């Protein structure tokens, strides 16, 4: 996928012109995996809750059902760990793609010999870092 970031860039006459920079890469797969797993975990938790509360006698009489429940829970826990690691890797990729040095290198106007381009500010990624830690 191409991600678009609009920014203002001066042309050679000093006028500001709005252009769109296209970032190369797809950064959505880790987030989609994490969200999909979260939805499946929620649905399984609701189904298990119904099983525990409504069909308690079937759950307690059947010897295989608790073992299957445990195995499914272990699988979800493993995939949750994998999804959290993928989320962190996706965030690292987004940080690398939006680093001011990378953006300046992608701007054609900054490639001139006597042109000096500086980044105004570094993007704030504090809340994104917290999302990975939590």
pLDDT tens, the chain, 134 aa long: 445 555 555 555 555 566 666 677 778 888 899 999 999 999 999 999 999 999 988 888 999 999 999 999 999 999 999 998 998 888 888 888 778 777 777 777 777 777 777 777 777 778 877 877 77
Cα–Cα distance for residue pair 22/29, rounded to 1 Å: 18
**Does residue 6 fall inside a structural domain?**
no
Tokens 């079937």, residue located: 58
Q: Is residue 22 part of a domain?
A: no
Q: Give the structural domain span for 66.
A: 27-95
- Residue 3 inside a domain? The answer is no
- Taking Cα atoms as reference points, which of 30, 8, 23 lies closest to residue 99? 23
For residues 56 and 43, what is the distance between their CA atoms, to the nearest angstrom?
Answer: 19
In a domain, 13, yes or no: no
Q: Establish if 59 belongs to a structural domain.
A: yes
Burial 100-126 (b: 16+ CB within 10 A, else e): eeebeeeeeeeeeeeeebeeeeeeeee
In a domain, 10, yes or no: no
Which SS3 state, helix, strand or coil, does residue 17 take? strand
Provide the number of structural domains found in the chain: 1
């Amino acid at each position: 996928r191409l991600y678009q970031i609009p920014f203002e860039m001066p042309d050679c006459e000093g006028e500001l012109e709005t252009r769109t920079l296209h970032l190369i890469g797809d950064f959505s797969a880790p987030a989609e995996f994490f969200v999909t797993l979260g939805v499946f975990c929620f649905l399984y938790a609701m189904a298990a809750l119904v099983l525990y509360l409504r069909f308690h006698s079937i759950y307690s009489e059947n010897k295989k059902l608790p073992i299957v429940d445990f195995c499914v829970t272990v699988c979800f826990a493993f995939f949750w760990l994998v999804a959290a690691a993928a989320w962190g890797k996706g965030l690292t990729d987004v940080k690398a793609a939006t680093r001011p040095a990378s953006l300046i290198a992608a701007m054609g106007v900054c490639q001139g010999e006597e042109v000096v381009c500086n980044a105004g500010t570094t993007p704030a990624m504090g809340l994104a870092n917290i999302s990975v830690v939590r």
